[in-house]
Amino acid sequence: MAAVSNASTGKIYLNISQLNRKLHALIGQPPGQLIRSIPKLRERAADLLQQGAGNVAEICYQVGFSDQANFTNSFKKQFGAAPREFRSEVERQRTNKTQEAS
């Protein structure tokens, strides 16, 4: 079955197989694999934030997000804090450990 478009609504109708093939062609991997990789991208971002490997915008783009607002919302859902808050907490903990060791 070919994709059907409705000119009056501007919608294109695809069955699931067609959608999967088109997404695979666009992103170079099956859609399910992309969805499973997103938490790993956020974990990598958290590691980079802990290391101080750049500002939030740089890290956002480095891990593959093209929209910083989307990255921030996604990060907050996984870690319970926005990236800046996460970094501040890591720095606060690092400072406390340094002071305790002195």
| pLDDT tens-place string over residues 64-88 | 888 889 889 888 988 888 999 988 8
What tokens does 1 get?
């079955």
82 with 75: CB under 8 angstroms? yes
**In order of start, what are the domains of the chain with their CATH numbers?**
4-101 (1.10.10.60)
| pLDDT tens-place string over residues 18-61 | 888 888 888 787 777 777 677 788 888 888 988 888 888 999 88
Is residue 61 exposed (0-12), middle (13-18) or buried (19+ Cβ within 10 Å)? middle
Q: Which residues is 12 bridged to in the sheet?
A: 5
